[in-house]
A and B are shown apart, each in its own frame.
Chain A
C-alpha cells in the first residue's frame, strides 16, 4: 500500500504527532463519518514504526519517537478496525502483541454481557465480575499513574493485580486481544471504573519495554464517547459535565488525546434557544458536551457533507480550525506547524483518501 495514499500530504501536519497534552476533537455527521480520519491518526502514529522501510516519512523532527496508541471505540468493534487498518497496511493484531497498540472495546459488552447475565455488583469500587472468564483477556499492570487523574476526591487506591495472573492468554476469545468495557452500575461510578480501566491500559503501554528507557508517548483515541451520554441519559446520572470530566481525566493519563463526537444538526442546534421546539435532555446534554469539548480542544476537525448535494468524487468537507484551548499552553510558543483550512476529501473504494482544495 503506497504510503502517500494512506496519508495524504495535506493531512500530514494535522494528524501527525499532536502536541503534548493536547486534545483534538473530530466531529462527524451521519453522512460523513470520521472513521477514516481516526485511521489516519493511527497510521500517523504507528505507521512509521510498523513499516519502517527506511523511508524518512511524516514526522521530520520527531522521527525517532516511539508512539503508541490506545483506541477506545464505542461504535465499531475490533474486527472493523482490524480489517480497515489492514487496508492501510497496519497490522493491529501484531502491533497489539508488541504493545504498541491496545484496543478497548466499548461496543460488544457495554450494556450486555454475552455469556451469563452476570449480576452487577452492588459495591461500587470493585471490578465487576472479576472472576469470570471473559474479563481477563489481558493482565492489568499493577503500576498506578502518578498523576492520579480525574476528580480525585472520588477515588481510592485500587486493589491492584486482580488479573495479573501471568501470561496474556489472548486468542481465548476470537474477538481478538481486546479489553471490553462493561457498564455495570449507573452514574459516575461507572465512568470512574472506565477511567481506571483505560488508564491501566495506557500505563501498560507507556511502561512496556521496547522504548529507549523513557516512557513512550501514548496517543489516546476515544471514538464517540458521546454514545455514553446519549444512551445513559440523565436518569442514570451521567450528564455532559460528567463525561467532560471523564475525558479530562483520561487526557491526563495520555500524552495526547483525540476524541470524536457527532455533530449532526439535530444534536447541536435543537438545544439552541432559537430552535422552535423544546429540546429534549438528550439534545441539550449532547450540545453542551460537544461545545465544551470544542472549547477545550487545541484543534477541531469537522467533517460534513457537501452543501451542494452529493457528488461522486467527493465524500465530504473537512474543516480544520483552532479550538478554544489553542495557544493557551506553554508549548504554544513553538510555532505551530498547521494553519486553519477547509478542504474536500474523497474516500476511494480501495481505502485510500484523496484530500484536495476546492477547485483543484
Chain B
C-alpha cells in the first residue's frame, strides 16, 4: 500500500483485482479458482461470494459484499405482498446471466419466464452517482464513505464512477475489463438470455417417497452430475406455502431434515452452492418453534415488513428528500451469514434500522430514519428559541 501514489484514490475496485491475484491469500481463494465470472473473493476474509442480484442486499452481507458460497439465505415476509419474490427473481436472474446453474424448487416453468430483464452491469445502470454528486455535501470525496465498510464494496463502483471526472485513472479501465459481479434488472421487462434454458425446475409432483426427500435426492443427483466448478443457486420461492406444497410437508419432521441435508450438501468443501428461500410469515409466524428452527438452520435470516397502505403518510414522510422514493417497508436482519456463526457482533450494519424500496429497476435497502413529525416543527423551533437565550445567558 505504501507504494501507491498518494494522490490516487484508494478504491476497492483496484483492491479487488489485487486480492484475486495475490498468491498469499488464505486457502479459501486458492481452492476456488478466481477467474470464474460471478464469483468474487470477500474483502473481509477472502472467501468466495456471489451476488444476490441486488447490490444493496450484497452490501448488507456483513462486509463480504455478496452471499458467501455454501450459505442459505432465508427471506421472510409479512403480509400478502411479494417483495421477497422480487428479491428472489433478482437472485435467479443474476444466476442466469452469470451462466450459473439455477434450480427452482416448487414452481413451474412460468416462474422462470417472469425473471426481470437485463439492463446491464449494475455499475452502468446505476443512476446513483449523479444524484449523489448533486446532493453531496462539501466533504472530500474520499472521506465521504468512510466508516461504512459494508457499503464500501458498493463504494467500489459508486465512487469510482462518481469521481470519474476527478481521476480519469486506471480504476475506470479495470472496472470495465472486469466481468461484472452484479447486474441491474428491470422488473417490467422479461429476461432473454441464452442460458435461461439451463434453469432446472423441480415442481411438486406426487412420488412414492416423502416430497422433500425426493426433491433433496433430485438436487443431489443434479448437482453431483454437473461439472465440478459449476456454481449452483437453489431457489425456493414461498416455501411451505399451502397453495404449492401439500400440508404434510410443513411438519417439522419433513421440513427440518430437508433443510438440514441441504445444509449438509452445501457444507461439503467441494460444493459451490448457495440457496435463497422465501417464507410467508403470515402463515408461519416467527413465534413458532418450527420457523425458529428453520432460521437456526439457515445462515442468513432477513425479515421484510412492508408498510400497510394506511401508513402511506408515514412512508412518504420517511423519504429524506423529495427525489427519493418513499420506503415501502422495513427490513430486519436477524442473522447474517458467516458473521453470526462466528458469534456475531462487530458489524456496522447490525444496529441500524433498514428500509427497502422496490422500484422498477432495483431493490434498494437504505438506513431508515424518521424525520421529525411534521406537526412538531413549531414546537421544535420554539424549544430551540427557548433554549437560545438561556445559552446566551450562560455565556460570560
A75 to B259, CA, bound (A): 11
B side interface size, CB within 8 A: 46
Instruction: List residues of A (9-56) whose CB comes within 8 Å of B's CBs.
Output: 30-37
Which among A30, A236, A314 is the interface contact of B345 at CB below 8 angstroms?
Answer: A314
| B residues near A114, Cβ cutoff 8 Å | 220, 224, 265, 268
CB of B301 closer than 8 Å to a CB of A: yes
Whether A346 pairs with B341 at a CB distance below 8 angstroms is no
Whether A30 pairs with B269 at a CB distance below 8 angstroms is no
| With known contacts A111-B261, A270-B289, A236–B253 Cβ distance under 8 A | yes
Which among A31, A282, A314 is the interface contact of B335 at CB below 8 angstroms?
Answer: A31
A310 to B352, CA, bound (A): 8
| With known contacts A77-B267, A110-B260, A346-B345, A30–B253 Cβ distance under 8 A | no
A312 to B348, CA, bound (A): 6
Whether A112 pairs with B342 at a CB distance below 8 angstroms is no
Which among B270, B288, B340 is the interface contact of A33 at CB below 8 angstroms?
Answer: B340
| A residues near B44, Cβ cutoff 8 Å | 349
A32 to B340, CA, bound (A): 7
Whether B344 pairs with A312 at a CB distance below 8 angstroms is no
A side interface size, CB within 8 A: 59
Least CB distance from A327 to B in Å reads 30
- Interface-side segment among A61-69, A91-99, A160-168, A226-234: A226-234
Whether B290 pairs with A77 at a CB distance below 8 angstroms is no
Instruction: List residues of A (168-224) whose CB comes within 8 Å of B's CBs.
Output: 174-175
| With known contacts A108-B268, A112-B217, A112-B264, A233–B292 Cβ distance under 8 A | no
CB of B295 closer than 8 Å to a CB of A: yes
Whether A310 pairs with B264 at a CB distance below 8 angstroms is no
Whether B351 pairs with A80 at a CB distance below 8 angstroms is no
Which among A74, A76, A281, A348 is the interface contact of B346 at CB below 8 angstroms?
Answer: A348
| A residues near B344, Cβ cutoff 8 Å | 31-33, 315-316, 347
Least CB distance from A268 to B in Å reads 9
A93 to B269, CA, bound (A): 15
A116 to B44, CA, bound (A): 38
| B residues near A174, Cβ cutoff 8 Å | 269-270
A197 to B181, CA, bound (A): 45
Whether A80 pairs with B220 at a CB distance below 8 angstroms is no
CB of A280 closer than 8 Å to a CB of B: yes
| B residues near A76, Cβ cutoff 8 Å | 267, 341
Least CB distance from B296 to A in Å reads 6
Whether A283 pairs with B340 at a CB distance below 8 angstroms is no
Whether B256 pairs with A230 at a CB distance below 8 angstroms is yes
Least CB distance from A71 to B in Å reads 15
Least CB distance from A339 to B in Å reads 24
A266 to B293, CA, bound (A): 10
Least CB distance from B146 to A in Å reads 15
Whether B293 pairs with A230 at a CB distance below 8 angstroms is yes
Instruction: List residues of B (136-163) whose CB comes within 8 Å of A's CBs.
Output: none
Instruction: List residues of A (71-104) whose CB comes within 8 Å of B's CBs.
Output: 74-77, 79-80, 84
Which residues of A line the B interface, CB within 8 A? 30-37, 74-77, 79-80, 84, 107-112, 114, 117, 174-175, 227, 230-233, 235-236, 262, 264-267, 270, 279-283, 286, 309-316, 345-349, 351, 353
Contacts A32-B344, A174-B270 known; 9 new A-B pairs at CB < 8 A: A75-B297, A112-B264, A231-B260, A264-B292, A270-B289, A286-B289, A311-B351, A312-B347, A348-B345
Can you list 29 A-B pairs, Cβ within 8 angstroms, ordered by A? A30-B292, A30-B296, A31-B334, A33-B344, A35-B341, A35-B342, A74-B260, A75-B263, A77-B268, A107-B267, A111-B257, A111-B258, A114-B220, A117-B217, A175-B268, A231-B257, A231-B260, A233-B252, A270-B287, A280-B288, A309-B351, A310-B351, A311-B350, A312-B346, A312-B350, A315-B343, A346-B345, A347-B344, A349-B346
Nearest 5 pairs of A and B residues by beta carbon: A315-B345, A347-B343, A77-B267, A36-B343, A233-B253
